[in-house]
Amino acid sequence: MNKILLALLLAIQTLSLWAQPKITVAVAANMQYTIQELITEYNKTDKTKIEVVLGASGKLTQQIQNGAPFDIFISADKEFPQKLAENKLTLEAPKVYAQGLLVLWSARPNIQPTKDLKLLLGSNIKNIAIANPKTAPYGHAAEAILKKYGLYDKVSPKLVTGESISQTSQFIVTQNADIGFTAKSIVISKETQGKGKWVELNAQDYPPIEQSAALLKHAKQNNEAAAKKFYTFLYSAKAKTIYNKFGYIVK
């Protein structure tokens, strides 16, 4: 019996040794469609298997602080990776890869989103979806723009909070929320084509969503070279073309 078990263990061990290199990337939810395209492009030249864990940037930060086995963190802001750097969980200083834009989106047939946010006060809008401002940078930006126009207190009874920008977008697409704030990269992806109408909000009205990424300490125990290579790719010209395509601003 023990021999069989040993043989089995050995077999599993050998199999995992034969497997191609693998890295795990923690990705902010607004990048959910973009990351797929980045990986497809990357795998054209490098077959490293890249596993994606999606979530709100704040949640992922919390998980990394508690020892989650991620090699790279692709955040939706600058602050969360910075926090990890301060806690010495990154291998080098985080860098900005793209700037995200906030949009107002509705899938209800009778609601037309406008740049003028006063429409949110209308009685035809019963609830407004935003991402959790504490953990999702796009939620934070949405809160900032509402506050800037003095609308926050008036609309706050209507606010429903998604735990990440993906849940927020799901509330909007299923029309459970009449309207909501989400990332431009989500509304212009193939997956959401033809689902409702959206409008881009003035980028000067909220603090810039400077999305940065960080190479994490865990990569050292895993496959540092592979992780580092994909991390570098995130700042390459090819990657920038993809960010552009998904509506991000790239410098």
Q: Does 78 bind other proteins (CB under 8 A)?
A: no
Strand partners, 128: 159, 179
**Cβ 237 to other proteins shortest distance, Å:** 35
Q: CA 91, CA 84: separation in Å to the nearest integer?
A: 10
Q: Does 107 bind other proteins (CB under 8 A)?
A: yes
Site string for other proteins, 111-150 (x = CB under 8 A): ---------------xx-x--x-xx---------------
Alpha helices in the chain (DSSP H): 2-18, 32-42, 57-65, 79-86, 137-148, 152-155, 165-173, 184-187, 224-233, 237-245
Q: Which of 23, 159, 179, 201 binds other proteins (CB under 8 A)?
A: 159
**Cβ 55 to other proteins shortest distance, Å:** 9
Q: Which of 38, 58, 73, 100 binds other proteins (CB under 8 A)?
A: 58
Q: CA 242, CA 97: separation in Å to the nearest integer?
A: 11
Give 141-146 contacts, CB < 8 A, sequence gap 24+: 141/102, 141/181, 141/206, 141/207, 141/209, 142/102, 142/181, 142/206, 144/205, 144/206, 144/207, 145/102, 145/117, 145/181, 145/201, 145/205, 145/206, 146/117, 146/120
In the chain, the largest separation of any two C-alpha atoms, in whole Å, equals: 72
Q: Which of 14, 45, 65, 232 binds other proteins (CB under 8 A)?
A: 65
Q: How many residues bind other proteins (CB under 8 A)?
A: 24
**Cβ 200 to other proteins shortest distance, Å:** 24
Q: Which of 53, 85, 119, 160 binds other proteins (CB under 8 A)?
A: 160
Q: CA 101, CA 248: separation in Å to the nearest integer?
A: 7
**Cβ 28 to other proteins shortest distance, Å:** 13
Q: Does 48 bind other proteins (CB under 8 A)?
A: no
Q: Which of 162, 183, 227, 242 binds other proteins (CB under 8 A)?
A: 162
Q: Closer to other proteins at the Cβ: 48 or 57?
A: 57
**Cβ 32 to other proteins shortest distance, Å:** 18
**Cβ 132 to other proteins shortest distance, Å:** 7
Q: Does 61 bind other proteins (CB under 8 A)?
A: yes
Q: Which of residues 175-214 bind other proteins (CB under 8 A)?
A: 175-177
Q: Which of 56, 111, 145, 165 binds other proteins (CB under 8 A)?
A: 56
Q: CA 79, CA 82: separation in Å to the nearest integer?
A: 5
CB atoms inside a 10 Å sphere around CB 2: 6
Residues 6+ apart with CB under 8 A from 228: 215, 219
Site for other proteins, rule CB under 8 A: 56, 58-59, 61-62, 65, 107-108, 126-127, 129, 132, 134-135, 159-163, 171, 174-177
